[in-house]
């Protein structure tokens, strides 16, 4: 594949290695799911069996991640599942997936910013600084019986401020921000390990009884249907390895480093999620965990762990900021990739002559994400992220099988093991989790998809090629060792 030159106005700088990519993935995964969504999903859907929900989501991500790794090594270009769908399934499917990735990254940054705001307000309160609830909450929420309901708050100013600040950092330069992200990842991993290690000795096993609460008669409200519903919700927390593949055009050795970053970040985070879920539901009753800061709340219930509360609030404040950073980063690169291929105006793939970052895509992403974070609660935002992500993952699982048949001898530096087992299993798990999401989330996805295809048929269909240029270049590359071998 031809490398972009320094004079190319759309060229990105290659400076990310395997450790940085793994940190990027962990930076996206360890955050909103472990610090916020775990409590919400346990209280509303699964109870202590939220652990099983994480296992289901982790399995789906493992299978999808193996498919991602093959595609990322074959086509080391920015765009993630969008680019892979373009190569395997054509323009229309690529647009559908790309538009869902816009939903995934844009809304995930907003959702995490809302979660960050809750911990930030709690951290300031522990320091004796109280902010007005009218300026730190969403002005509206959603009720299944009443629809959108006003909460009395005006706007979530801390969440807006975080998004705008991170967007500014992203414009200035990815390498510097990635280094700061690595530091933030180290801090939050340390905090997570402290909670697991110190909290394990104070678990009250009675809080795990019953481990699977009886279903109330409503689908998704406890019981096994609640476990499936919770799995679809906590899937929001697993998009980190997807963000690794978005960084393909900024990786120094993408064929080697992308699979390492994808699978390593996924493995580390799945183990930490399961352990944290066990500790969280063991320290406090799952019924009490539907709060803005469930981890610090659960820790505060144990007198011997009071000292850990402020540590958790600080770590969550830092850690959630790194997750929002990765969401904003991923979204700007999706815009970049779609503009590069003609689906969006070319201005979105122009980079700053000094900073070598896509400025317009970052500004647009930051502005919209800030508005969403200021107006909506995390439950609505996280459900939208989950369904958009699951759509993209399902298409990747289909695409890797289709390309094995269509182009069996294409160079594959990394091959999905047991692809005819792994890919169908990943597809079925993703579809099952989508089925468990609320009907209102499906309705919002339908509206989002309709808007997306209006843009596609109004612009993209006239400007995007049927086959991307970078795929032709990759297919013409010399076969790597073993590339022609079939599973």
Q: What is the pLDDT of residues 333-359, one digit of tens each?
A: 788 888 888 898 888 878 777 777 788
Of the candidates 166, 83, 172, the residue with the CA atom closest to the CA atom of residue 357: 172
Other CB atoms within a 10 A radius of the CB of residue 485 amount to 10
> Class assignment of domain 20-462?
mainly alpha
How is residue 310 written in tokens?
């402020």
The domain segmentation of the chain, as residue ranges, is: 20-462
Q: What integer is the mean pLDDT of 295-302?
A: 90
What pLDDT was estimated at residue 284? 93
The pLDDT assigned to 217 comes to 84
In order of 56, 394, 398, the CA distances from 428 in angstroms are 11, 8, 11
pLDDT at residue 214 above 70? yes
pLDDT at 38: 85
For residue 42, pLDDT beyond 80: yes
Report which of residues 62 and 11 the model is more confident about: 62
Greatest mean pLDDT among 133-142, 150-159, 372-381 = 150-159
Q: Residue 29 pLDDT more than 70?
A: yes
Across the chain, what does the average pLDDT equal? 81
Question: What local confidence, expressed as pLDDT, does residue 480 receive?
Answer: 41
Give CA–CA dist 6/227, Å, rounded: 50
At residue 473, the pLDDT reads 59
pLDDT given at position 197: 94
Region at 472 (left for phi over 0; alpha for psi -120 to 50; beta for the rest) = alpha
Query: pLDDT band at residue 478, thresholds of 50, 70 and 90?
Result: very low
**CA-based angle 5:6:10, to the nearest 5?**
80
- For residues 271-296, average pLDDT: 90
Q: What pLDDT, on a 0 to 100 scale, did the predictor assign at position 178? A: 63
The pLDDT of residue 6 is: 45
Whether the pLDDT of residue 474 is over 80: the answer is no
Q: Do residues 74 and 259 lie in contact, with contact meaning Cβ atoms separated by under 8 Å?
A: no
Q: What is the mean pLDDT of residues 355-366?
A: 81
pLDDT on residue 484 = 38
pLDDT at 159: 92
User: Is residue 10 pLDDT above 60, yes or no?
Assistant: no
- 19's enclosing H/E stretch is helix 18-29
Do 241 and 65 meet the contact criterion of CB atoms below 8 Å apart? yes
Which of 5-9, 41-45, 61-65, 234-238 is predicted with the least confidence, judged by mean pLDDT? 5-9
Instruction: Place 282 in a pLDDT band, splitting at 50, 70 and 90.
Output: very high
* Sign of the torsion formed by the C-alpha atoms of 344, 345, 346 and 348: negative
Quick one: average pLDDT of 441-454? 88
User: What percentage of the chain exceeds 90 in pLDDT?
Assistant: 20
Q: pLDDT band for position 457 (50/70/90)?
A: very high
Is 79 a residue whose pLDDT tops 80? no
Token digits for 292? Answer: 């803005």
Q: How far is CA 222 from CA 44, 215, 231, 363, 368, in A?
A: 8, 5, 12, 41, 35
Confidence of residue 207 (pLDDT cuts 50, 70, 90): very high
Q: Compare 56 and 175 and report the one with higher pLDDT.
A: 56
Residues ≥6 apart with Cβ < 8 Å to 477: 1, 411
How confident is the model over 155-197, as pLDDT tens digits?
999 999 999 998 888 887 656 666 776 787 788 888 999 999 9
Interval 2-27 mean pLDDT: 60
pLDDT of res. 15: 54
Residue that the structure tokens 């390498």 belong to: 175
For 404-434, how does the pLDDT look when each residue is reduced to its tens digit (9 = 90+)? 998 888 888 888 989 999 999 999 988 988 8
State yes or no: pLDDT of 98 exceeds 70: yes
Looking at residue 218, its pLDDT comes to 83
| pLDDT surpassing 80 at residue 278 | yes
């Amino acid at each position: 594949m031809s490398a972009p030159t320094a004079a190319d106005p759309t060229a990105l700088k290659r400076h990310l290695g395997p450790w940085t990519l793994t940190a990027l993935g962990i930076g996206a995964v360890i955050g909103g799911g472990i610090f916020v969504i775990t409590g919400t999903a346990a209280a509303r859907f699964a109870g202590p069996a939220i652990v099983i929900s994480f296992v289901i989501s982790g399995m789906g991500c493992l299978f999808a991640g193996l498919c991602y790794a093959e595609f990322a090594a074959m086509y080391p270009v920015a765009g993630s599942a969008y680019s892979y769908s373009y190569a395997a399934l054509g323009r229309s499917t690529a647009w559908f997936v790309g538009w869902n990735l816009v939903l995934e990254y844009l809304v995930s940054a907003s959702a995490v910013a809302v979660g960050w705001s809750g911990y930030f307000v709690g951290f300031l309160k522990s320091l004796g600084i109280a902010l007005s609830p009218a300026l730190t909450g969403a002005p509206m929420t959603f009720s299944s019986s009443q629809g959108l309901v006003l909460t009395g708050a005006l706007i979530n100013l801390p969440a807006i401020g975080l998004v705008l600040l991170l967007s500014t950092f992203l414009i200035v330069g990815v390498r510097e921000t990635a280094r700061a992200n690595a530091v933030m990842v180290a801090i939050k991993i340390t905090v997570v390990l402290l909670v697991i290690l110190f909290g394990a000795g104070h678990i009250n096993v009675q809080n795990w009884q019953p481990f699977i609460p009886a279903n109330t008669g409503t689908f998704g409200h406890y019981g096994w249907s609640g476990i499936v519903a919770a799995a679809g919700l906590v899937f929001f927390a697993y998009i980190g390895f997807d963000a690794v593949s978005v960084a393909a055009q900024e990786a120094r050795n993408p064929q080697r480093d992308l699979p390492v970053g994808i699978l390593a970040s996924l493995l580390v985070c799945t183990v930490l999620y399961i352990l944290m879920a066990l500790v969280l539901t063991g320290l406090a009753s799952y019924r009490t965990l539907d709060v803005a800061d469930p981890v610090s709340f659960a820790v505060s219930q144990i007198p011997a762990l009071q000292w850990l509360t402020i540590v958790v609030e600080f770590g969550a404040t830092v850690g959630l900021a790194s997750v929002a950073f990765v969401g904003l980063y991923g979204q700007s690169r999706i815009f970049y990739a779609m503009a590069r291929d003609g689906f969006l105006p070319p201005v979105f793939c122009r980079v700053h002559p000094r900073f070598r970052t896509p400025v317009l895509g970052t500004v647009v992403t930051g502005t919209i994400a800030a508005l969403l974070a200021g107006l909506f609660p995390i439950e609505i935002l996280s459900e939208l992220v989950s369904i958009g992500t699951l759509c993209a993952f399902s298409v990747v699982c289909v695409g890797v099988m289709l390309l094995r048949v269509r182009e069996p001898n294409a160079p594959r530096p990394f091959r999905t093991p047991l692809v005819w087992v792994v890919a169908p299993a990943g597809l079925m798990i993703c579809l099952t989790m989508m089925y468990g999401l609320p009907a209102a989330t499906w309705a919002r996805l339908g509206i989002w998809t309709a808007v997306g295809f209006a843009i596609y048929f109004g612009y993209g269909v006239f400007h995007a090629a049927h086959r991307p240029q970078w795929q032709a270049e990759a297919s013409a590359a010399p076969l790597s060792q073993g590339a022609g071998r079939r599973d």
